[in-house]
Amino acid sequence: MFFQIMASSPADTACIFLLWNFYVKNKILTLAFIGIALLAVSLIFRFRIRKKKKKEGEEASYIPPITDIIGTDKEKLDELNRDLKPFGFAYDPSQDLFYSLMDCWQRNFGYCRLYDEASALFSMIIDCEPIYFNYADKRWMIEFWKGQYGMTTGAEIGVYYTSDPDINIPGLFSGTFYHCAKDEDRINMSFILRKNGNILFTRTGYHWWLTGFKLGEFSQPSELSMDIMLDLHDRQMTEAFVRGLKEAGYTEEEYGVRGRRVFIRYDKPHTPQPLTRNPLTVNIMQRNNRSFCEAYQYLTQAYTNTLDKLIAIKQRSPQMYSQIMNMGKSHQVFEAYNRLKGFINKQDLEEEG
């Protein structure tokens, strides 16, 4: 992913978040500066991609046949999932998709609006739809996402809550920080992700963060829609969540209720999108995302399944393989947590005391 390559060290990440702080205070000036800088970097980056593709075409005109890859599908799957586990994901060959693990590292970082604001800067051009409601003496947020996550097309549903007061850190963040739902508060949920009306994949599970990602698939968020089902805890939670849907702008034509189950058609987001999702950023990042998807397809054109494709990528392009492993919301998106955790830990101690 474009910014994952640029922000390859803690110092780079710190610089990006300093720019974010400046952006909050000087939005118009910063947008102009970032636009010019991103355009220049994008042109340079695209030139390098084309040069690299040409070089790879000259040096790697021979593409090994599938028979050169040794091992059973189970052995290949086990190796891939060992590589994916530190990044919080696993691969499902039955649907040819990647999904988040139950106890992935992301579960320790909670969620807040700042993460959504950072996503576009790290090549994640996604529609964000947070639904807020109160239930069982907690403030809840169930958020839906769909769009392009670097080299993958994907979708997510996340369940979060808090009983803490809002955080106010001048120059960084002012708002609610949510914790990821504990095991006893997980929700039975499912979704169908469609692209231009056709089913791309389905996901179902008793989870706090239900996800799916299709590698090498390039999409615009507007091409995608989700048919969502949430099996909520009880009638009170269902009523509270439906009120949140209505407050977000959903009409009765876009959702239905059957007992504790709520069915939602998520097509075009109703809530305000992150400020970083401006046309210039979207255009530049999506060009880069498309280039990476095309590079992946080019390098793996001789193979018919993802397991063999990824073995070939691991051998021929370790940098791309590492980039693939770091799918979904990367560590860089959650870097803001390091700035927030002092305030969060203080609140937790005060609550325990």
Average pLDDT over residues 233-237: 97
Q: How confident is the model at residue 38 (pLDDT cuts 50, 70, 90)?
A: low
pLDDT, tens digit (0-9, with 9 covering 90-100), for 294-338:
999 999 999 989 999 999 999 888 999 999 998 887 777 777 677
Extract long-range pairs of 282-285: CB within 8 Å, 24+ residues apart.
282/120, 282/125, 284/2, 284/38, 284/39, 284/42, 285/2, 285/120, 285/123, 285/125
Q: How confident is the model at residue 32 (pLDDT cuts 50, 70, 90)?
A: very low
Coil, helix or strand at residue 7: coil
Q: Are 344 and 116 in contact (CB under 8 A)?
A: no
Structural domain containing residue 158? 2-352
pLDDT, tens digit (0-9, with 9 covering 90-100), for 106-149:
999 999 998 999 999 899 999 999 999 999 999 999 999 999 99
pLDDT exceeds cutoff 50 at 5: no
Strand partners, 74: none
Task: Look at the chain and report how many structural domains it folds into.
Answer: 1
By percentage, how much of the chain surpasses pLDDT 90? 66
**What is the C-alpha separation between 280 and 6, in angstroms, rounded?**
18
pLDDT, tens digit (0-9, with 9 covering 90-100), for 54-98:
554 444 444 455 445 668 889 999 999 999 999 999 999 999 999
Q: Which residue has the higher pLDDT, 168 or 250?
A: 250
**What is the C-alpha separation between 20 and 14, in angstroms, rounded?**
10
pLDDT, residue 37, reads: 55
pLDDT, residue 33, reads: 52
pLDDT, tens digit (0-9, with 9 covering 90-100), for 195-216:
999 999 999 999 999 999 999 9
Closest CA to 284 of 48, 115, 41: 41
Q: Are 165 and 347 in contact (CB under 8 A)?
A: yes
Q: Which residue has the higher pLDDT, 47 or 245?
A: 245
**What is the C-alpha separation between 31 and 29, in angstroms, rounded?**
6
- Is this prediction's pTM over 0.85? no
pLDDT exceeds cutoff 80 at 248: yes
Buried b (16+ CB within 10 A) or exposed e, 248-269: eebeeeebebeebebebebeeb
Q: Which residue has the higher pLDDT, 74 or 32?
A: 74
